Chain A
Amino acid sequence: MSSILYVFSQPPHGSINAQEGLDALLMGSAFTTCSVLFVGQGLMQLIEGQSTDELGTKNFSLGFGALKDYGVNRIACSKPDLVASGLNSDDFVIDVEPLDAAGMQLLIRDHDKVLNF
């Protein structure tokens, strides 16, 4: 069965697209082998300590803790984008595997389909 790589490139809260991307990932992982790659502003979804009670958007970052339980295979991010963001892995709600360009290219090649969000 086709494996799917989800690529998340949108920041949270500015639009609902990132949240709907996570929904699609959780749904996909119920059906087939899935991995996720965070790139660009998508890394911002992972920042620990998001507090949205006053804003009124959903703090879906809490959902990332369930990815392993859902069987999501690899959880990776762009190392160059991580460095450029000024953040580091300690800032994130879950462990992510930083990949250089070659590693990301391999990850894309290793999956049958790519869904970008």
Chain B
Amino acid sequence: MNFAIVVHGAPYSSEACLSALNFAKAVLASGHSINRVFFYHDGAYTANNLIAPPQDETPVGEQWQAFGIGNNIELIACIASCLRRGILDETEADRYEKSGSNIAPGFTISGLGQLIDASINADRVVTFGV
């Protein structure tokens, strides 16, 4: 079965980001697939490559990166959510003349249509809200 996962919460501000990761790992471990993980609202902060937590705390963002890259799963951060919150890729940094980009490896900034597309095409959509 194919899952779409929606994440509304930022690392550390909300457990949603961690719950969604635990859920996503369990989906794959159970032999199911994930068509996309969509980061909306504060969930977009998960794509911030500049997060540097203390060493004794779980690096939630890095774990998402490893999960996405290691399993070849699309991690999409909503462009509108990202721009509001200062998460930029090279293209957006240039477009808005900002000093640098900070999108984490494994994440892609894209539009809200990706949420709808994922929701329509998945067998199940599961939201981790705040």
Binding site for B on A (CB under 8 A): 1-2, 4, 15-17, 20, 23-24, 27-28, 30-32, 113-117
**Residues of chain A contacted by B111 (CB below 8 angstroms):** 27
The interface residues of chain A, by DSSP majority, are classed as mixed
| B37 beta carbon closer than 8 Å to chain A | no
Task: Produce 1/0 per residue, B8-52, CB < 8 A to A.
Answer: 100000000000000000000000000000001100000000000
6 closest A-B pairs by CB: A27-B112, A2-B120, A28-B116, A31-B116, A113-B125, A17-B41
CB proximity of B122 to chain A, nearest CB, Å: 8
Query: Residue B115 contacts which of A2, A27, A116 (CB distance < 8 angstroms)?
Result: A27
- Whether the pair B127, A115 counts as a contact (CB closer than 8 A) is yes
Q: B119 — which chain A residues lie within 8 A by C-beta?
A: 2, 4, 28, 113, 115
Complex: A28 Cα to B120 Cα, angstroms: 9
* 30 A-B residue pairs with CB within 8 Å: A1-B120, A2-B120, A2-B121, A15-B41, A16-B41, A20-B40, A20-B41, A20-B78, A20-B80, A20-B81, A24-B40, A24-B112, A24-B115, A27-B112, A27-B115, A28-B116, A30-B116, A31-B116, A31-B120, A32-B116, A32-B120, A113-B119, A113-B122, A113-B125, A115-B6, A115-B115, A115-B119, A115-B127, A116-B127, A116-B129
Closest chain A residue to B117, Cβ basis: A31
Known A24-B115, A115-B127: A17·B8 in contact at CB below 8 Å: yes
Q: How far is the CB of A40 from chain B (nearest CB, A)?
A: 13
B98 sits at the interface (CB 8 A): no
